[in-house]
Structure 1
Amino acid sequence: MAAARIVPNRYTGDPKAGAGFFNDVLGLETAMAMDFITIYRSAAQPMAQISILSEDPSGLRPAYSVGVDDVDAVHARAIEAGHEIVYALRDEPWGVRRFFVRDPLGDIANIVQNKDRV
């Protein structure tokens, strides 16, 4: 299992409101924009990203996302280690397979794999 990226998740009423700052000031490109999320990334380092969300469709607020190459294996290890799964493993309609786990510091982590890599 390899983690390909770790992305902080920030919450606001309008995920597109920061576009001027992230695009124009920081020089990031918009990697994805949906009604509830906008992801900005560096063109030079595409795995350097930040997600701006109005809300997560789960109703929870994961503090960060970890993109992995085998979400099922990470899920099994998290359960085996006794970590609290706060959002069950599932396929989402926007093309990812994910689950949420509470980390040892008390934050919620969104563990995610793009379905085209499953």
Structure 2
Amino acid sequence: MSVRRVVPNIPIAASEAPEGDADAMRANAAFYGLLGFEEVMNHGWIMTLASPSHPAAQVSVMTADRTAPLTPDMSVEVSDVDAAHAAMVRGGAEIVYGLHDEEWGVRRFFVRDPNGRVINVLGHR
């Protein structure tokens, strides 16, 4: 198993109005665009921006994870998510969201690190 990318998930305040979330996403896209990042994914509640010259250099902004019970602090893409899950279970790590196949083409689970941070470990299907 190898790590393919690590992406910080920056929390943004969720708005009561859907246009508020869209405004926050646009503001973040504009800000990170000044550093050369471009939008590569946007589900409305999470947006990922990447460097065109180094696509694995990414940052995500999110209001809240709308498909899981909690919002992760960081995402780690691995080559074999099932092997990563098995290693975490064997190592006694706290799994806080079990393995799931998500509708947007990833298989993932969440694990809590020793600092209390929630890590989204994923692989693309």
TM-score (norm 1): 0.92
Please name the residue that 2:106 is paired with.
96
CA distance in 1, matches of 2:57, 2:89: 28
SS at match of 2:85: helix
Does 104-113 or 10-19 show the bigger shift? 10-19
Give the superposition deviation at 1:59: 3.1
Q: Which of 18, 21, 29 is the aligned partner of 2:31?
A: 21
Unaligned runs of 5+ in 2: 15-20
Give the superposition deviation at 1:110: 0.2
Q: Which of 56, 62, 65 is the aligned partner of 1:56?
A: 65
Identity %: 46
4+ residue runs over 4 A deviation? none
Q: What is the aligned residue count?
A: 114
CA distance in 2, matches of 1:77, 1:104: 15
Give the superposition deviation at 1:18: 0.9
Give the superposition deviation at 1:19: 1.4
SS at match of 1:18: helix
CA distance in 2, matches of 1:7, 1:49: 6
Q: Which of 42, 55, 59 is the aligned partner of 1:46?
A: 55
Please name the residue that 2:18 is paired with.
none
TM-score (norm 2): 0.87
CA distance in 2, matches of 1:104, 1:86: 13
Please name the residue that 2:17 is paired with.
none
